[in-house]
Amino acid sequence: MSVGDDRNRRVLAVRCPAWNPPGVVSRQADHLKVREFEQVVGAAAQYCPRIEVLRPGLLAFAARGPARYFGGEAELGRKVAGAVTLLGYDCGAGVADGMFAALLASRDALLAGVDDTGPVRIVPPGGTPAFLAPRAVTVLGEPDLADLLVRLGIRTLGEFAAIPVAEAGNRFGTQGLLAHRLARGLDPRPLAARPPSADLAVQVEFDPPAERSEQVVFAAKSLAGQLHAKLAANGLGCVRIQVQVTSENGGESIRLWRHDGLLSDLAVAERVRWQLDGWRPPRHASQAGEADPADVDADGVQAGGISLLRLVPDQLVHDQGRQLGLWGDAVVSDRVARAAVRVQAMLGHEAVRQPIRSGGRSPSDQAVLVPFHDTESVGTGSINDTGASRNGADGNHRQPGTVRPVDRPWPASIPPPAPATVYQVPRPARLTDGAGLLVEVTGRGQLSGVPVRLSVAGGPSVAVTAWAGPWPVTERWWDLEHACRKARFQLVTADGAAWLAVVQDGCWLIEASYD
């Protein structure tokens, strides 16, 4: 496909903040509300049957054909946004050349709100480079690359796009080259000119039909491995995949899923889980033994068990290969991933968790446990999801599993280095001055005395050899129920131990320890 064809691909993107509010990513909320997003997909499908679901809350489709039928791109955008609004959800729609620019346009429309033209932002054909040029390089969703570019004096996409292609590849590697294509208004990877002659679709039949989603997701991971083996044999990769799920009673769900980069086996399995959550509600039996009304799909057909899963590669790219780790890190990681997916298939998706970094002031806020592989779409941004934050920090009161942006200022957070051990239940402590009195901190951050001795969890009192603080924290002052005032200290004792201590309501606690 030529560069001109790449730029002329008109895309309409729809962004709904109800599922993933910009700046706050909650995997638990995604899992619980993904079924509701199926209503939004159904509303958009009235105007184009081939809908790409990038993730819950974000969808897109080719705009050229539907725009001609419905009276132009602006009218099409208003109709789609109006259909979503009738469901009770806010949304923004954007039309541009290519997916990346359309997503940015949808974000602009959402932030601008509803005006005389409706919540739609149209980037005229051929205007994508000018539309992208003034944007900060941070919208590329690659924090490390953006930081390097800023340090080199390259602050906008226009400045980055002006770098010769060869130089971008040599200096910033493969990921930088993909980002450079986005900055120029192109798709991340050139599409394959035409589909291969071999049939690359793979499928699995369930006999008896699978009643649990975990069974289907586990099979999807294995099936994706077969698909990628076929693609590799043809020198191809896949950035968009069609997932077809058929129930034993004839119901069918077909969705297109896109990914930031090449779709891995685990990424495919995650998309299948999302699709099942949106189409096939959990099975419940009523006391009378009849099917629950909620277990019926949108066509009035009782969903039943899953009898067929089929994966069809829909958008192919030339696979340029990947560089494995020198010491086999990629191989080890893949083994861990396969083992975790097997356990999830047996015990459930929430049973296997892994820690990821999160924004916050205390050490307990800065590491969050999420279901394994849900970390893929958690972060401050990604190439295909360029939402900007409109939500401020909200203190320590948050729902379990909520991941907050790491790159926010987080005033009053503890300075580096990070502690080595964080206690799930803070340990009681006693910090006294030279007279043996408990050290207190006033509302102005003044100490009642110099810290001299520290006792942890009822243990012996040890001399304090060095200390730093206090770092006062006032959180959620506007919320009487959850308002909190505290102060933190770093303490080093004569036995060589280092502690992170906090005083709140006159009580001392040890939150963490340092190596």
Phi, psi (degrees; rounded to nearest 5) at 204: -140, 140
* pLDDT surpasses 50 at 1: no
All residues at 6 or more sequence positions from 271 whose CB lies less than 8 Å from its CB, including other chains: 53, 241, 243, 255, 257, 259, 263
Does a structural domain hold residue 390? Answer: no
- The total number of structural domains in the chain stands at 3
Over the stretch 140-159, which tens digit does the pLDDT of each residue have?
888 888 888 988 889 999 99
End position of a domain, from candidates 76, 108, 132: 132
Of residues 115 and 173, more confidently modeled: 173
What is the structure's pLDDT at 465? Answer: 93
Average pLDDT over residues 88-106: 88
The answer to whether residues 8 and 120 belong to one domain is: yes
Q: Containing domain of residue 98, as a range?
A: 3-132
Integer Cα distance of 384 and 104 in angstroms: 9
Integer Cα distance of 475 and 118 in angstroms: 38
pTM of the shown model: 0.52
Integer Cα distance of 62 and 182 in angstroms: 18
Over the stretch 304-328, which tens digit does the pLDDT of each residue have?
788 999 998 877 777 655 544 444 4
Does a structural domain hold residue 211? Answer: yes
Does a structural domain hold residue 46? Answer: yes
Does a structural domain hold residue 454? Answer: yes
Does a structural domain hold residue 483? Answer: yes
- Contact between residue 158 and residue 134 where contact means Cβ atoms under 8 Å apart: yes
Integer Cα distance of 372 and 361 in angstroms: 25
Neighbours of 493 (CB within 10 A): 19
- Contact between residue 453 and residue 461 where contact means Cβ atoms under 8 Å apart: yes
- Contact between residue 511 and residue 363 where contact means Cβ atoms under 8 Å apart: yes
How much is the mean pLDDT over the chain?
76
The answer to whether residues 206 and 342 belong to one domain is: yes
- Contact between residue 27 and residue 403 where contact means Cβ atoms under 8 Å apart: yes
Does a structural domain hold residue 113? Answer: yes
- Contact between residue 433 and residue 408 where contact means Cβ atoms under 8 Å apart: no
The residue whose two tokens read 């959550």 is 277
Neighbours of 193 (CB within 10 A): 10
Q: What percent of the chain lies above the pLDDT cut of 90? A: 11
Over the stretch 438-486, which tens digit does the pLDDT of each residue have?
998 887 878 888 999 999 988 899 999 999 888 888 877 777 777 788 8
* pLDDT surpasses 70 at 330: no
User: 137-174 as b/e, with b when 16 or more CB fall inside 10 Å?
Assistant: bbbbbbeebbeebeeeebbbbbbbbebeeeebeeebee
Average pLDDT over residues 102-131: 80
The answer to whether residues 105 and 240 belong to one domain is: no
Average pLDDT over residues 257-282: 72
What is the structure's pLDDT at 344? Answer: 66
* pLDDT surpasses 80 at 360: no
Does a structural domain hold residue 237? Answer: yes
Over the stretch 450-463, which tens digit does the pLDDT of each residue have?
999 999 988 899 99
CATH for 231: 3.30.1490.100
* pLDDT surpasses 80 at 139: yes
The answer to whether residues 221 and 118 belong to one domain is: no
End position of a domain, from candidates 93, 116, 132: 132
What is the structure's pLDDT at 400? Answer: 47
Of residues 423 and 284, more confidently modeled: 423
Radius of gyration of the chain (CA): 26
pLDDT band at 224 (very low <50, low <70, confident <90, very high): confident
Integer Cα distance of 250 and 301 in angstroms: 8
The answer to whether residues 126 and 209 belong to one domain is: no
